[in-house]
Amino acid sequence: MLRAAGRITGEQQFIVMGSQSLHGTYPEVADEILNSAAVGLIAGSRGIRAEWLRAIGYLSPFHESFGYYADPIDSFSVALPKGWKHRLVVLAGGDTGGVRGLCLEPHDLAITMYVACREQDLHFNRELARRGLVAEQQLLDRIDGTPLDQGVRTRIRGQIVRDFRPLQPSNPAHERAAPAGPPAPHASERGQRS
């Protein structure tokens, strides 16, 4: 992907966004957590050339050949925590033709997913928490340093806290015993209704 993106745009460096950015910190991460075929890319110095990435984008011959595609992203459209650029991780190895990939640090990545708030993004973040790839307090600290409306920040803080709480086991016997309809009226209410 980086090699092709570099050839098309003349760029020598891209910021990798979305779930595929996790490869920077965790190159051996299990494939099932990275179920997106899209590779979000921010073109480095020539943002205007980002549109050229559509040549290897969704439903392009590149996508049909390799099963994944470039998703050009405008850096101004993404809410990122303060200091994110200093935490970028260089993507290791690969035959990239000299093109460098810079990946978001996992906590910064998770914040972008919480902001986007699509179901697949929230599922991805729950998996990050469940697998211990991110820490609750770091996420809470990062959300405080992200330029967001207070309502969005409050929503995300709640989602972070929930993602780190163990799921309560269900009690199938209790669920089977529960009445199907509304509760029966209390004895004192039955007399009043007659």
Give domain status of residue 151, yes or no: yes
SS3 state of residue 111: helix
Give domain status of residue 171, yes or no: no
Nearest to 6 by CA among 59, 45, 60: 45
- Indicate the residue type of 85: K
**d(C-alpha 125, C-alpha 189), whole Å:** 48
Give domain status of residue 130, yes or no: yes
Give domain status of residue 44, yes or no: yes
- Tell me, what DSSP letter sits at residue 35? -
Provide the pLDDT for residue 78: 86
Evaluate whether 101 touches 122 at the Cβ level (below 8 Å).
Answer: no
Give domain status of residue 177, yes or no: no
Please give the chain's pLDDT, 194 residues, in tens.
Answer: 999 999 999 899 999 999 999 999 998 887 767 778 889 998 866 556 777 898 999 999 999 999 999 999 887 778 999 999 999 999 987 788 899 999 999 999 999 999 999 999 999 999 999 999 999 999 999 999 999 999 999 999 999 999 999 754 444 443 334 444 444 443 433 344 33
Provide the pLDDT for residue 190: 37
Per the DSSP assignment, residues forming a β-bridge with 102 are: 15, 90
Evaluate whether 103 touches 91 at the Cβ level (below 8 Å).
Answer: yes
Would you say the pTM of this structure is higher than 0.85?
Answer: no
Domain of residue 69: give its range: 2-163
Tokens of 135: 């820490």
Helices (H) and strands (E) in the chain, counts: 8, 5
Structurally, the chain folds into a number of domains equal to 1
Give domain status of residue 168, yes or no: no
User: What share of residues in the chain are helix, strand, coil (percent, to 5)?
Assistant: 50, 10, 40
Tokens of 33: 């957590």
Tokens of 65: 């050949």
**d(C-alpha 22, C-alpha 89), whole Å:** 9
